[in-house]
């Protein structure tokens, strides 16, 4: 083993750390155990300035842990993780007014049921709700309808039993959100809104580790939503943030500040798409 890191992770928590690094005020609502894992989660978030005052700490509870094996030679990774039971967080266990004091809510799949609880009040106050549609879980389809923005990885295609990425986007958009977005790794990201389909390429960086890329993309997307940017600018910013976090192991130690993200977007150094690679192999120019 060449290197070993013990770091905090998770979809929403890593996204919040990224948003805090960008200069936003953030707070995490979730459930952790009073075990070493839970203490690691809370201490790690505090280091980034994330408010954890409303986190529910279960006495005797177990905080999920993931083991990630990265092979730098083969450029592969293997993840072994403890499954998290849905519905651990409920509206009765937190202060609803604290939740609704935010300008944007990001709900990960582990707290889908909580997202469904808070969605009506958030919509009433015009607070945008972004749903991380990573995998099928209790309330998944209802959450597609309740969210303002649905962002998932390419795995959502099989989750929805769709024939292709575009079909999956149409299924999501038909459920009711303002936009459906799917991240495509080195192929960038694609989004569908009532205004049409948007494709934006990924950015070229030296990749060391990728588990936090999707979480960082969600953070970039949330930042752009708060700024009111158009979809193309939103995808570019989110793609750049997702790329920059891949520069080191674990994800959080390489979270960029706002200037780094904007500089990469301005540089415009992107990874060729599959079509462009095909043209290059033929020796032709686009």
Of 85 and 125, more confident: 125
pLDDT tens for 7-49 read 666 788 999 999 999 999 999 999 998 988 889 899 999 999 9
Which architecture characterizes domain 11-279 according to CATH? 3-Layer(aba) Sandwich (3.40)
pLDDT band for position 208 (50/70/90)? confident
Ranges assigned E (strand) in the chain: 31-33, 56-58, 66-71, 76-81, 105-107, 129-132, 149-153, 179-183, 189-193, 196-200
Q: The whole model's pTM is what?
A: 0.88
pLDDT tens for 102-145 read 999 999 998 999 999 999 999 999 999 999 998 889 999 999 99
Contact yes or no for 251/241 (Cβ under 8 A): no
pLDDT band for position 252 (50/70/90)? confident
Residue 90 predicted with pLDDT over 90: no
Q: Where exactly are the structural domains of the chain?
A: 11-279
């Amino acid at each position: 083993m060449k290197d070993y890191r013990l770091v905090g992770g998770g979809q929403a928590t890593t996204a919040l750390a990224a948003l805090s690094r960008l200069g936003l005020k953030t707070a995490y609502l979730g459930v952790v155990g009073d075990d070493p894992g839970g203490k690691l989660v809370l201490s790690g978030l505090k280091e980034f300035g994330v408010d954890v005052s409303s986190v529910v700490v279960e006495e005797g509870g177990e905080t999920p842990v993931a083991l990630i094996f990265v092979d730098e030679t083969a450029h592969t990774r293997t993840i072994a993780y403890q499954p998290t039971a849905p519905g651990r967080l409920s509206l009765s266990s937190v202060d609803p007014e604290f939740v609704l004091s935010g300008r944007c809510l990001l709900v990960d799949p582990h707290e889908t049921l909580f997202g469904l609880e808070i969605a009506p009040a958030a919509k009433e106050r015009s607070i945008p709700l972004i749903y991380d549609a990573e995998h099928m879980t209790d309330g998944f389809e209802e959450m597609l309808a309740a969210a303002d923005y649905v962002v998932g990885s390419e795995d959502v295609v099989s989750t929805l039993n769709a024939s292709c990425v575009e079909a999956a986007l149409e299924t999501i958009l038909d459920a009711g959100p303002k936009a459906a977005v799917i991240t495509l790794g080195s192929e960038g990201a694609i989004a569908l809104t009532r205004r049409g389909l948007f494709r934006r390429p990924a950015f070229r960086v030296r990749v060391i580790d990728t588990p936090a890329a999707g979480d960082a993309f969600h953070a970039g997307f949330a930042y752009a939503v708060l700024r009111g940017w158009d979809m193309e600018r939103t995808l570019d910013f989110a793609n750049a943030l997702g790329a920059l976090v891949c520069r080191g192991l674990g994800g959080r130690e390489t979270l960029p500040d706002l200037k780094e993200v904007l500089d990469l977007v301005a540089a415009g150094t992107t990874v060729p798409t599959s079509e462009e690679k095909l043209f290059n192999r033929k020796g032709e120019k686009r």
